Amino acid sequence: MSHPESPDLAVRIVSDPEINGGRPGIRGTRMRVSDLLEMLASGASRAEILADFPYICDADISAALAFAAKSADHRIIHAA
């Protein structure tokens, strides 16, 4: 099942070769999507992340999670 790209996701998550080596990140920051995911996976709460990084907002965290879900949802095609 494919998920349509959310307009919010397209606005918040960017890949710029000049920032973080082109890795996906939060627009206007140097915060990589992978950094947010690692913090959440390590047990950090949204509130803790927002307190430590005041230049991002809760919607940025949601966009990072949505981006990761979309990235993980891809078909694998096997050639016969």
What tens digit of pLDDT does each residue of 2-19 get?
A: 344 556 788 899 999 999
Q: What is the CATH number of the domain that holds 57?
A: 1.10.10.10
- Record the pTM: 0.81
| Within-domain flag for 68 | yes
Instruction: List, in sequence order, every residue forming a beta bridge with 25; answer none if it has no partner.
Output: 14, 32
Which whole number is the average pLDDT over 49-55? Answer: 97
Q: Is residue 78 part of a domain?
A: no
Q: How many residues does the chain have?
A: 80
Quick check: is 2 in a domain?
no
- As a whole number of Å, the end-to-end CA separation of the chain is 23
What single DSSP character describes residue 21?
Answer: G
Q: What confidence tens digit (pLDDT) does each residue in 24-48 have?
A: 999 999 999 999 999 999 999 999 9
Q: By three-state DSSP, how is residue 46 classified?
A: helix
Residue 22 lies in a domain: yes
> What is the spatial distance between Cα 26 and Cα 48, in angstroms, rounded to a whole number?
17
Instruction: List the domain range (segments joined by +) for residue 58.
Output: 7-72
The number of folded domains in the chain is 1
